[in-house]
Amino acid sequence: MPHRNCAMPMLTFTPSGDLDSIGSGFLLRILNRIFLFSASHVFDDCGVGGIMYFGPDGKLATLEGHRYALEDSLYDVGVMEIASSHCCQLAARYSPFDSANLTPSLPPLGTLVQVTGYPAAHQTISGDERLILQPSQLSFYTVPARRPSLSMQGNFRPCHIALTMARNDIEGISNDVAPDFSPNGMSGSPVFGFFGTSPSMASPIGILTDHYPDKGVLRATRSELVLAIIRHTAPELASCLIPSQDISVQITDLAQQ
What is 115-173 written as a DSSP string?
EEE--GGG-EEE-SSS-EEE---EEEEE-B---GGGGGSTT--TTEEEEE--GGGSTT-
Cα separation values, 106 from 50, 78, 202, Å: 33, 21, 11
Mean pLDDT value of segment 225-248: 76
Eight-state DSSP code of residue 108: P
Long-range contacts of 108-111 (CB under 8 A, 24+ apart): 109/144, 110/143, 110/144, 110/146, 111/143, 111/193, 111/194
> Domain holding 52: CATH number?
2.40.10.120
Total number of domains constituting the chain: 1
CA-CA distance, 101 to 200, in Å (whole number)?
A: 9
Q: Which residue has the higher pLDDT, 256 or 41?
A: 41
Of 69-78, 111-120, 172-181, which gets the smallest average pLDDT? 172-181
Q: Which residue has the higher pLDDT, 203 or 197?
A: 203
As a 3-state breakdown, the chain gives helix, strand, coil percent values, each rounded to 5, of: 25, 35, 40
SS3 233: helix
Mean pLDDT value of segment 204-226: 85
How much is the pTM? 0.84
From 217, 195, 185, 221, select the one nearest 206 (Cα to Cα). 221
Of 60-64, 151-155, 252-256, which gets the smallest average pLDDT? 252-256
Mean pLDDT value of segment 47-75: 80
pLDDT surpasses 60 at 60: yes
Q: Which residue has the higher pLDDT, 79 or 145?
A: 79
Q: What local confidence, expressed as pLDDT, does residue 146 receive?
A: 61
Q: What local confidence, expressed as pLDDT, does residue 214 receive?
A: 72
Q: Which residue has the higher pLDDT, 156 or 191?
A: 191
Mean pLDDT value of segment 50-73: 81
Mean pLDDT value of segment 209-235: 84
Mean pLDDT value of segment 35-60: 83
- Identify the helix (H) or strand (E) that includes residue 42: helix 40-46
Mean pLDDT value of segment 27-35: 93
Average pLDDT over the chain, rounded to whole?
A: 77
User: How many CA atoms, within 13 angstroms, populate the side-chain half-sphere of residue 237?
Assistant: 20
Mean pLDDT value of segment 190-206: 80
CA-CA distance, 153 to 219, in Å (whole number)?
A: 12
CA-CA distance, 251 to 226, in Å (whole number)?
A: 11
Cα separation values, 99 from 34, 82, 226, 237, Å: 10, 15, 13, 10
User: How many CA atoms, within 13 angstroms, populate the side-chain half-sphere of residue 157?
Assistant: 9
Chain Cα centroid distance, residue 92: 19
Q: Which domain holds residue 23?
A: 2-256
From 171, 149, 169, 161, select the one nearest 211 (Cα to Cα). 161
CA-CA distance, 135 to 123, in Å (whole number)?
A: 5
pLDDT surpasses 60 at 231: yes
- Exposure string (b/e) for 54-93, b if CB count within 10 Å is 16 or more? beeeeeeeebebbbbbbebeebbbbbbbbeeebbebbeee
